[in-house]
Amino acid sequence: MEARVWIKLVLAVAVIFMSGCKKKEAAVTKPEAKPVVKETRQMSAEKESFGKTPDGKQIDLYTLTNTNGLKARIMNYGAILVSLEVPDRDGNLADITLGFDKLDGYLGEHPYFGAIVGRYANRIGKAVFNLDGVEYKLAANNDVNHLHGGIKGFDKVVWRLEDLSVKGAGAVVKLSYISEDGEEGYPGNLACSVIYTLTEDDKLEISYDAETDKKTVINLTNHSYFNLAGQGTGDILGHEMMINADKYTVVDEGLIPTGENRNVKDTPMDFTAPMTIGSRIGQVEGGYDHNYVLNSSGGTLALAAKVHEPTSGRVMEIHTTQPGVQFYTGNFLDGSVIGKAGKVYQKNYGFCLETQHFPDSPNKPDFPSVVLHPGQKYSTVTAYKFSSK
């Protein structure tokens, strides 16, 4: 009997204890019993203020995001790509472009970080060209030569917002600029637009369109400096680079093409098979700063380059309709520029792949033509596709 009493007692205590626990549990869980909201990212295109130019013009920052979390920030000053966040092989996002946190940095001296470059990207020899027997003199802003559109190129003007929206294809920002007849010495009023589209399949596409009312020359590109390990984390010499080009345009000491397109085979210029940037850079005087003649020869969207950064696993693949690409390894970065998050940009801390027509084409009749006629449409596309391995 005594044992039964004991069992009953133990059971009773257990029941009281458990119900007490349940009560406590109920009291704790009740306020949290809301429907569970699963974190879903949405494709978006948003605008915020980024400051003002010294002459009081409003500068805005446009943020394009896709559902995988990739994020591109663009501003209307210079139509500059301010940052580009892409995931590594573990899904960690990093900003892979060099630049500044604030507008002030971009208003000061810098080597075209993220900018849209025009009216003529790259160099024009002796800063002069002829069209129909008329000589057009441009600013000699790179020794005796003309570089990247002159003193106040498209990278230093305020563009107009035309569209900021999410469309089927992705998140879009469209900017336009009218370059007046005679601006920086170029003939013709040129109406240009640049569209940045961040797509759901992790592509940042930049398309360029222009029309003129007088015969002129045009060569537009984007001058982003990339480091796929993350901006400011070190040099880019360990990146594996493939450039889909069997030839490059040989240049003189002022980096003006001589007119010869030389085969890359058996030279340090050969990136037809993936090679680390640093493996042969020491054999190239000054580092890489050369225009490659793409095998596709332009016109259709074709593979120009593929870059892999082994520590993060990030991969960038570039397709373009342009016939050339300037491969530049940030040779003139020297630690004098303090960039995003206080990072000091040393030599080779970023590389550029500027899809373009060849340098000095206005003076090289054998190069693909850069002449734009009234009634004709200039239209090019370059797409940067991101993945990891």
Give Rg (Cα) of the chain: 27
Closer to ligand BGC by CB, 70 or 325: give it: 325
Work out whether the CA dihedral 274, 277, 280, 284 comes out positive or negative: positive
Position closest to ligand BGC via CB: 111
The token duo for 135 is 């000589």
The residues assigned a catalytic role are 223, 354
**What mask, x for binding ligand BGC by CB under 6 A, covers residues 275 to 304?**
--------------x---------------
Q: Is 354 in the site for ligand BGC (CB under 6 A)?
A: yes
Closer to ligand BGC by CB, 97 or 388: give it: 97
| 60-74 as b/e: b if 16+ CB within 10 A | bbbbbbbebebbbbb
The token duo for 221 is 């590109």
Which of the ranges 19-27, 149-157, 195-203, 324-332 carries the binding residues for ligand BGC, by CB under 6 A? 324-332
4 burial class (0-12, 13-18, 19+ CB within 10 angstroms)? Answer: exposed
Closer to ligand BGC by CB, 85 or 354: give it: 354
Closer to ligand BGC by CB, 154 or 328: give it: 328
H or E element that contains 216: strand 216-217
Candidate list 292, 328, 358, 384; residue touching ligand BGC; CB under 6 A: 328
- Kindly determine how many residues on this chain lie close enough to bind ligand BGC according to the rule CB under 6 A: 9
CB of 324 to ligand BGC, least distance (A): 12
CB of 153 to ligand BGC, least distance (A): 10
Closer to ligand BGC by CB, 17 or 332: give it: 332
The alpha carbon torsion through 265, 268, 273, 279 (nearest 10 deg) reads 160
CB of 191 to ligand BGC, least distance (A): 25
> What does residue 24 show for φ and ψ, rounded to 5 degrees?
-60, -45
**HSE (CB half, 13 Å, CA atoms) of 309?**
26
Candidate list 46, 60, 93, 111; residue touching ligand BGC; CB under 6 A: 111
H or E element that contains 16: helix 2-29
12 burial class (0-12, 13-18, 19+ CB within 10 angstroms)? Answer: exposed
Of residues 334-353, which lie at the interface with ligand BGC (CB under 6 A)? none
Closer to ligand BGC by CB, 159 or 328: give it: 328
Place of tokens 């500044």: 100
Of residues 214-243, which lie at the interface with ligand BGC (CB under 6 A)? none
Q: Is 112 in the site for ligand BGC (CB under 6 A)?
A: yes
CB of 286 to ligand BGC, least distance (A): 9
Q: Which positions touch ligand BGC (CB under 6 A)?
A: 111-112, 122, 255, 289, 326, 328, 332, 354
